[in-house]
């Protein structure tokens, strides 16, 4: 019996790199399995775009190697990496279930808020997924204990191995994982559905790509004390009498054709007669505004109008205000709320589009309905 066990440990020592390779493959496939997308579709998509396999496998391999060189136990490294990437994929699954929005690095800083908000959702905890993560990690821990460490190595080669592994990852992180052209080059099914993109390109790659994408840069000369002094100088007085109902309509398809000289018509035939009557009323304020997007990105216009902030000034890398903010921000809704108003938001689009459901909630707007099933007129 001891002879067979010694032979098994000898095989374990001689084929350590094969073990690490198999562990990497297992964790990679487990991440795809946990993903809410179709396992077969995602694997097929990556086989047609093999660079995605490298981009998703690399962080797994690096973590495995770093831990392995530190403890010289391949299965201990496998257990740790399996747990880390398993939990990351599981958190992504739960967030997509609850908000139809994938996990991004900024969410890690909001763990406490996420736990508090979890009570607002009826989530499927996916016991099968939990079982896969727990059981596979337990198996690797058991193998790590039974088989033990591989042959002892001098400290210097191990340190070199750790440094080289981290250096390779750092090079990829500041190169491949930041490449916008590379990210946009993959033929995804829906380029505007972030959840679908994460499912097809892989969580590991998309997570790292988004690491520095939706940041909020501090403006030059910014002083928190100065801003607080400005806020304290603003006095909000609740108006007397009956508060008027305030309705704001944003229509991205609206176009005042009378601005162009291409059309001729009489005042009686003015196609925008009703609009012009309202705009010229002494009770209205009218004019032209400059918006951050044309033809797309209308959610940024919504954000700019509601908050008074400009999307293009948020940061040098962010092109979506709705994905840059994860906390409540001052808006028209909060200002009117201080005067006793309640707010309501209505949009016919999908809730995942530009993260409206999550971001507009941060503006303290209560969502009435998103993506209703419109009935065709009979």
What confidence tens digit (pLDDT) does each residue in 123-172 have? 678 899 999 999 999 999 998 888 776 667 788 888 999 999 999 999 99
Whether 311 is covered by a domain: the verdict is yes
Please check whether residue 377 lies inside any domain of the structure. Answer: no
Region of residue 340 (left: phi > 0; alpha: psi -120 to 50; beta: else): left
Do 123 and 170 belong together in one domain? Answer: yes
Q: Same domain, yes or no, for 277 and 347? A: yes
Nearest of 74, 77, 52 to residue 63 by alpha carbon: 77
pLDDT in tens, 192-249: 788 889 999 999 999 999 887 777 788 888 888 888 888 788 766 666 777 788 888 8
Q: Does residue 217 lie in a domain region? A: no
Candidates 121, 128, 69; CA nearest to 94 is 121
Structural domain for 204, as ranges = 2-212
Region of poorest pLDDT, from 7-11, 44-48, 126-130, 280-284: 7-11
In a shared domain, residues 248 and 179: no
This model's pTM is above 0.85: no
Same domain, 278 and 188: no
CA distances from 6 to 2, 18, 71, 148, 150 (A): 6, 19, 20, 11, 12
Q: Does residue 60 sit in the same domain as residue 191?
A: yes
Quick one: tokens of 321? 């205000």
Tally of domains within the chain: 2
In a domain, residue 228? The reply is: no
């Amino acid at each position: 019996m001891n002879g067979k066990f010694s032979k098994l440990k000898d095989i374990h020592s001689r084929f350590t790199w094969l073990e690490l390779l198999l562990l990497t493959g297992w964790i990679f496939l487990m991440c795809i399995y946990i993903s809410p997308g179709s396992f077969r579709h995602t694997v097929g998509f990556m086989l047609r775009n093999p660079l995605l396999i490298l981009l998703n496998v690399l962080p797994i391999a690096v973590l495995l190697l770093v831990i392995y060189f530190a403890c010289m136990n391949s299965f201990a490294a496998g257990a740790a990496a399996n747990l880390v990437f398993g939990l990351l994929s599981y958190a992504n699954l739960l967030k997509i279930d609850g908000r139809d929005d994938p996990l991004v690095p900024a969410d890690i800083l909001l763990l406490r808020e996420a736990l508090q908000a979890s009570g607002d959702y009826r989530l499927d905890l996916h016991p099968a997924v939990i079982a896969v993560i727990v059981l596979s990690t337990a198996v690797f821990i058991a193998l790590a204990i039974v088989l033990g460490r591989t042959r002892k190595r001098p400290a210097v080669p191990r340190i070199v191995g750790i440094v080289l592994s981290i250096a390779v990852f750092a090079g990829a992180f500041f190169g491949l994982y930041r490449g916008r052209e590379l990210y946009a080059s993959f033929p995804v099914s829906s380029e505007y559905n972030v959840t679908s993109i994460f499912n097809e390109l892989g969580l590991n790659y998309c997570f790292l790509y988004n690491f520095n994408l939706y940041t909020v840069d501090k403006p030059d000369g910014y002083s928190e004390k100065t801003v607080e002094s400005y806020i304290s100088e603003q006095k909000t007085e609740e108006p007397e009498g009956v508060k008027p109902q305030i309705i704001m309509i944003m229509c991205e398809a609206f176009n005042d054709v009378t601005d162009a000289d291409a059309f001729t018509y009489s005042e009686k035939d003015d196609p925008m007669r009703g609009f012009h009557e309202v705009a010229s009323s002494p009770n209205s304020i009218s004019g032209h505004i400059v918006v951050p997007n044309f033809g797309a990105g209308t959610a940024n216009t919504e954000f700019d109008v509601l908050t008074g902030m400009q999307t293009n000034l948020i940061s040098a890398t962010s092109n979506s205000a709705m994905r840059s903010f994860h906390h409540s921000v001052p808006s028209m809704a909060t200002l009117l709320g201080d005067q006793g108003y309640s707010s309501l938001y209505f949009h016919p689009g999908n809730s995942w589009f530009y993260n409206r459901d999550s971001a507009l909630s941060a503006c303290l707007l209560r969502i009435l309905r998103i993506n209703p099933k419109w009935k065709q007129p009979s």
